[in-house]
Amino acid sequence: MYAYLRTRETANKAVQLPQPNLQFSLCAPRFYSRTRDRMLFGSNVYACAYNFISNEGRYLAVGCEKGGVTVLDTDPNTEQDSFIADKWVSHRNNILDICWTPDDRFIVTASGDRTCKLWDVEQRKCVSVLGYHRASVKSVTFNPHDPNTFATASRDGTISLWDVRCTGTQIGDEYMQRSIHEIMDGHCLARDSTKKNKRRQSHSYSSQSIVSVKYLKHDQNLLVSAGASDGLVKYWDIRSRGHNSVECSTLPYNPTGRVYGFVSMILNPDGSKIYAASKDNTIHEYNTLNLESPPSRTFSSASLSLDNFYIKTTIAPNGMTLACGGGGSVPSVHLFDLSKGGDTRPPIVLKGHENDVSAVDWCKTDFDQLASCSDDCVVRVWNVRHVSTNVEFETGVIQEEMTVLKHYVGHSERGVLRADVQPRRQQFQPKKFL
């Protein structure tokens, strides 16, 4: 990715670059976030997702703490004063995950109110309410082999499977559907079964929460999930009615013996690798064909802080770069090179948020653009091609293995934030549905 972007930025002219350090590669693209490319919301933002087809894949759905969904038009060439394409209230609690159907007709939201909802995007209408879990729903994902089915994972330790073709029940104004199968206690830690602790443990979900669930691409019958407490990645056969995983990862090595749970998990575009971000501030790479082997590589940085379970990861469409949110003293987005030897190189650091960065997502049609959400109630869109001269951050210095490295970081403009205003509803017309 880096070599391609350097060529693009120099108008395809041959450029003589200095020989990079054999251990670190400091030549990296510059990402910019202009004032017009950021939006201020009235509450924290925990979820965002780009669409697939309409508007060349540049509609960004954003879910906020107050339960609202906002669709942003992130086309960098748009001349509109507001890039809000549409907005509506979807839940009575915060939205923790959000995803589009492959045809862009529907959006599924996962919420802290223990439900998921299927929304018709054009009509802003709730088609179906999927519930209930016994705790907040942390993750939702569609089946790439069958767009009518999807899976959800919750803090209650349950993975639920859903089929929108199944008949539901009309309750008041809501059409309720039940799951077709549940996997219980998927990542539950060992418990004390004595009567003294039974009641207290029945009300605690912190020891069994599942942070992410995905369908594997090489096998349509397998799901993969990551636990918030047990530090394990597990495979599940959806044909089985049991509650035992068919394959499980080994615990990452830790010299202290402490077990660190995961905060998020994602698959690369071809489905060959799993990347799980851990509370030990490390991203672990697993081979999907051999999950039981130790992680093949790890990615970390002295400036990376994975200190909460709202942090998410995303991978560029070409599979060469991973973006990860983070907190700590300097909230930022970290971009890791996934090519051969990339685990030995320092990340690109995109600075500009004032509080922890939670959700990140890459545009599915253009790996020059990605979006980030933060606890500062701001959504930023980052682009490579749009150079800005009015920047807050130029270069950064981080500490990497006792060596001080200076490298490019994200450039972010100063200026007045655009507030969450009324959408330009009449201009939100999907161009193509499958």
Higher pLDDT pick, 387 / 344: 344
pLDDT of residue 337: 93
Higher pLDDT pick, 119 / 408: 119
Grade residue 136 by pLDDT with cuts at 50, 70 and 90. very high
Measure the CA–CA gap between 101 and 119, rounded to whole angstroms.
10
Q: What angle do CA 94, 43, 90 make, to 5 degrees?
A: 40
Measure the CA–CA gap between 217 and 423, rounded to whole angstroms.
37
Cis peptide before 132 (omega within 30 of 0): yes
Grade residue 431 by pLDDT with cuts at 50, 70 and 90. very low
Our CA dihedral for 121, 377, 334, 28, rounded to 10 degrees, sits at 80
Grade residue 79 by pLDDT with cuts at 50, 70 and 90. low
Q: Does 27 score more than 50 pLDDT?
A: no
Question: How many whole angstroms from its chain centre is CA 64?
Answer: 14
pLDDT of residue 115: 94
Measure the CA–CA gap between 191 and 178, rounded to whole angstroms.
29
pLDDT > 90: percent of the chain: 54
Higher pLDDT pick, 226 / 420: 226
Higher pLDDT pick, 58 / 432: 58
Grade residue 83 by pLDDT with cuts at 50, 70 and 90. confident
User: Of the given ranges (76-85, 197-206, 233-242, 253-262), which has the lowest mean pLDDT?
Assistant: 197-206
User: Of the given ranges (24-33, 191-200, 226-235, 319-328), which has the lowest mean pLDDT?
Assistant: 191-200
Whether 179 contacts 161, CB under 8 Å? yes
Amino acid making up residue 55: N
**Residue range 240-250: average pLDDT?**
87
Higher pLDDT pick, 370 / 35: 370
**C-alpha distances out from residue 219 to 23, 285, 350, Å:** 37, 19, 36
Q: Does 6 score more than 50 pLDDT?
A: no
Measure the CA–CA gap between 379 and 359, rounded to whole angstroms.
9
Q: Does 325 score more than 90 pLDDT?
A: yes
pLDDT of residue 192: 42
From the list 96, 37, 107, the residue with the least C-alpha distance to 66 is 96
Structure tokens at 165: 């073709």
pLDDT of residue 84: 85
Q: What angle do CA 358, 360, 362 make, to 5 degrees?
A: 180
| Count of CA atoms in the C-beta half-sphere (13 A) of 118 | 25
Q: List CB contacts of 193: < 8 A, sequence separation 6 or more.
A: none
Measure the CA–CA gap between 377 and 400, rounded to whole angstroms.
30
Measure the CA–CA gap between 410 and 332, rounded to whole angstroms.
9
**C-alpha distances out from residue 302 to 363, 370, 372, Å:** 27, 23, 21
Whether 98 contacts 110, CB under 8 Å? yes
H helical segments located in 168-294: 195-202
- Residue 121, classified by CB atoms within 10 Å of its CB into exposed (0-12), middle (13-18) or buried (19+), is buried
Return mean pLDDT, the chain.
81
H helical segments located in 30-180: 54-57
**Residue range 140-169: average pLDDT?**
92
Higher pLDDT pick, 2 / 331: 331
Higher pLDDT pick, 294 / 428: 294
Higher pLDDT pick, 112 / 132: 112
Higher pLDDT pick, 431 / 45: 45
